[in-house]
Structure 1
């Protein structure tokens, strides 16, 4: 298989839709479909089951997928050997992350790495967590940095930090007047004030009948919020469903309901206006941020150097935006 065949094949595997795959490659759907059909004709068999929704690989397609992953791994290992010989004067680094993590946590470390190694081309791949794991597995990304539930079977996970989850409610909501003793301002969280330590956790039951802005996106906070409610045996009163964290934030400010946000978003989201925040006592009120690599794969020297730099910044407390 040539590089274009691999690119087209993997695009359809990842997007599970001819139209979405074609759009991601900036080609027309008819042209993309013809190319896939030509490839299947070359192999003498169907690689994709078009009768299912979404599209899935046939057993023959699974075999091709495994081969493509091996090809990418071989290419990546060869690339690493060549890059190592040039002492990082040239090369590339592909970092995978989720949209929220990418917008709040990585700009400082990537900027510092670029200053040290100006000849290294850096690319940032932002994807939902499930697609991100696939990108690490098939060799598209060298490393990934994100939070969430990740299986340690195929990946090596290294803990970088933890982020605290806070309940957020509009300051215009009348309930805030009765919750003054539990209330935190954004500055308390951003500056780790004494109030942050002394303010007690607010009972989640207080919000049981309050409207809730449900975030249904791919960020790990979505599953975290679900676990928080289940742990507290509360059925949320959903007023609005959104698929973007910043959209959820805007509707909380507009008093459409309360929601949950990680402290990384509160600290590094560059928001001019904030809701009121509340600590909650719950087994799922924090989540772990991981550095993820694929097991049994040589890590490129560029990625190793970036990881070392990232850890330096974490130790000094300056790795975040």
Structure 2
């Protein structure tokens, strides 16, 4: 019944026979014929070919759910073998937003790869909502994020603290009124914004300026709204984005004001066209965690990766 299930799974993932065929290194006619044979064995069509892109039929949806259960069992056994073989085989799937995937994860993954060269590593870069969805489904083993996932479902392992700051295009006229509050990227790197003697800017001075916000479901978006509400104004949001790095780049080009983390400022190339400001709010402070799903088999590859990412994390692993 499930012979050839990988073909069905790939077509569903890509929503396209041609793309799936490329990924599977077979011809499209061959793939179509294989799917047709599987549908004949099942007795019902699995795909609705009248739509573009193609969609699963109700029967197809149940078939894919069964595939995912089979893959989960298969992955669980492979992970068990990986422990038995002292990481001479195995795999680990890690996810993060653009910021973490671009700057935080690469050196950790490189070190892990050098120590365990035979462990296959898969990295996913996506927004928080998709990362949590994939962590819940089992597609990802670990996710690094600054959003607080449900503690009843996920275990968390603290990576670092970070603080939000205001990033304003240098060309904005409002900066002429805030000279005493201005910070550079160099100041942030040297933790001047964490010094109690550094003044916080009155945010209401920027209430008439254009803002760049992240989309709903993002921790930075939630905190930014709360901060503006505390200062009794509704920001003029001209654009909503998926990634903090994108917001930063648009601020560098002078498009609008962003709420950015000091983590981003530390890791990205300083831009002379941006001025930073310290904010005086409880909600500017947050933690960055590695998340794992509770109840999921905690492989040795996951344990070793976390130990390498956070030397003290082994105290938190339960």
Length-normalised TM-score, structure 2: 0.80
C-alpha distance in 2, partners of 1:153/1:184? Answer: 40
Structure 1 residue 78 and structure 2 residue 80: aligned? Answer: no
Give the secondary-structure state (helix, strand or coil) at the position aligned to 2:287: strand
Pair 97,199 (structure 1): closer, same or farther in 2 beyond 3 Å? same
**Gaps (5+ residues) in structure 2?**
none
Mean Cα deviation higher: 223-232 or 52-61: 52-61
CA–CA distance in 1 between the matches of 2:313 and 2:132?
24
Q: Find the structure with the greater CA-based Rg.
A: 2
Aligned residue number for residue 318 of structure 1 = none
Offset, 1:160:
2.4
- Who is 1:293 aligned against? 292
Whether the 8 Å CA contact 2:204–2:233 is kept in 1: the answer is: yes
Residue of structure 1 in register with 2:13 after alignment = 11
Q: Deviations over 1:176-202 (max 9, x none)?
A: 222122222111211213774321222
**Equivalence map 1:84-103=2 (5 Å):** 84-103=83-102
Partner residue in 2 for 1:190 = 189
C-alpha contact 1:170 1:257 (8 A) present in aligned 2: yes
1:120-131 aligned at under 5 Å gives the runs 120-131=119-130
| Equivalence for 2:145 | 146
CA separation in 2, counterparts of 1:260 and 1:200?
Answer: 17
In angstroms, what is the RMSD of aligned CA positions? 3.7
Is the contact made by 2:162 and 2:288 (CA closer than 8 Å) also made in structure 1? yes
Which whole-Å CA distance do the structure 1 matches of 2:129 and 2:207 have between them?
31
Can you give the 5+ residue segments of structure 1 that lack an aligned partner in the other structure?
Answer: 316-321
Count matched residues. 311
In the superposition, relative to structure 1, how do residues 20 and 236 fare at CA in structure 2: closer, same or farther (>3 Å)? Answer: farther
2-structure distance, mates of 1:108, 1:231: 38
For residues 301 and 44 of structure 2, the distance between their equivalents in structure 1, rounded to whole angstroms, comes to: 39
- The answer on 1:208 being equivalent to 2:210 is no
Cα gap change, 1:276 to 1:254, in 2 (>3 Å): same
Equivalent-residue separation in structure 1 for 2:18 and 2:268 (angstroms):
30
